[in-house]
């Protein structure tokens, strides 16, 4: 299935049906009077987050979503049928933006979240509503209210616990493939990952979701390379896993490049909990590994772990560190602080 995380849709709610102008005419009733019914209500347009979706590709092939119109009223005081609502089923984590692509109308984070995008028009009153003591045979009725036309943008931000960061060929896809059932493309050239990948990682009888996004390069916030358009997929993560290639000449410079791009992107990505790991140590001896780790630690000002996604060396320790941060962050998000019951995804 092709991945799509941004698309434009055109929606229209249904118009209300017009009221009826009708008079009761029966053989043995001398004064029948008006009996025109009301028009039916137009259908509304909703958006709902559902399970089983992780892309907006369905909206690439169907961009127009129009609800049904209400039917006109009828004689004998019969109300016209209402138009059916339509529901745009989107993945959890979808933001709905106005036409300017900046104003957030709704953020459907959890499965079951639902929002009304366009309300259907009310049906018009039939002539029975206009009967008075001085006007006992009204010959007019109201038209139905028109529907609402809107142009909206859908933007998906994947829901994951861990977000992978790093330059191209830092070993992110290899790490994801080695620790989960995900099968991202892996090759020895840059930008093998062209769209985000999700994998479920297990450690010590606990599972969490890891998101791998295309690698960043210097100037990504200005559109270089694939740019920073995929960084939105790690905004919701509890922790970021920053992988640094240990086989390069200056790993500290690689580390600073990614941090600079995070700061230029804005938001709280630069301050989000982050674990820094020196990767590919299977290609280094112990002395060189320690030297490279020390350089990255000096640049980051914090602890730097080491691992090899290929050989598996140090991977369990990294996964346990990630799980501890996830537990802490998810408990902090709970209203009661989550002190008694540990978090499980």
Give the separation between CA 293 and CA 200, rounded to whole angstroms: 28
Binding residues for GTP: 166-173, 191-195, 212-215, 279-282, 308-310
Q: Which helix (H) or strand (E) holds 48?
A: strand 45-50
Give the separation between CA 118 and CA 272, rounded to whole angstroms: 36
Binding residues: 166-173, 191-195, 212-215, 279-282, 308-310
CB 179, CB 201: distance < 8 Å = yes
Give the separation between CA 127 and CA 34, rounded to whole angstroms: 6
Give the separation between CA 118 and CA 67, rounded to whole angstroms: 9
Retrieve residue 218's tokens.
Answer: 């210097």
Cβ atoms within 10 Å, residue 302: 10
Q: Which helix (H) or strand (E) holds 241?
A: strand 239-245
CB 5, CB 53: distance < 8 Å = no
Binding residues for Mg(2+): 173, 193
């Amino acid at each position: 299935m092709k991945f799509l995380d941004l698309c434009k849709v055109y929606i229209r709610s249904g118009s209300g049906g017009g009221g009826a102008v009708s008079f009761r005419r029966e053989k043995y009733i001398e004064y029948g009077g008006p009996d025109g019914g009301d028009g039916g209500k137009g259908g509304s347009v909703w958006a709902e987050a559902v399970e089983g979706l992780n892309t907006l590709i369905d909206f690439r092939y169907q961009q127009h979503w129009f609800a049904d119109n209400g039917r006109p009223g009828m004689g004998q005081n019969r109300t016209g049928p209402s138009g059916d609502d339509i529901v745009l089923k989107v993945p959890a984590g979808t933001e709905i933006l106005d036409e300017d692509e900046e104003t957030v109308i709704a953020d459907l984070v959890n499965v079951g979240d639902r929002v009304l995008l366009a309300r259907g028009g009310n049906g018009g009153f039939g002539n029975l509503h206009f009967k008075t003591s001085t006007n006992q045979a009204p010959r007019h009725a109201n038209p139905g209210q028109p529907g609402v036309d809107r142009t909206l943008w859908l933007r998906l931000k994947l829901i994951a616990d861990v977000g992978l960061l790093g330059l191209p060929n830092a070993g992110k896809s290899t790490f994801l493939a080695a620790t989960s059932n995900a099968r991202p493309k892996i090759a020895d050239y840059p930008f093998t990952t062209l769209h985000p990948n999700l994998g479920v990682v297990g450690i010590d009888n606990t599972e969490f979701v890891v998101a791998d996004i295309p690698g960043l390069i210097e100037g990504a916030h200005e559109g270089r390379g694939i740019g920073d358009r995929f960084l939105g997929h790690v905004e919701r993560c509890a922790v970021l896993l920053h992988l640094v290639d240990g086989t390069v000449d200056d790993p500290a410079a690689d580390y600073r490049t990614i941090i600079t791009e995070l700061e230029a992107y804005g938001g709280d990505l630069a301050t989000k909990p982050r674990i820094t790991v020196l990767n590919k140590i299977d290609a280094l001896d112990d002395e060189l590994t320690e030297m490279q780790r020390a350089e990255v630690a000096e640049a980051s000002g914090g602890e730097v772990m080491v691992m090899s996604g290929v050989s598996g060396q140090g991977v369990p320790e990294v996964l346990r560190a990630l799980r501890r941060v996830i537990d802490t962050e998810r408990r902090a998000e709970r209203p009661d602080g989550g002190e008694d019951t540990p978090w499980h995804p």
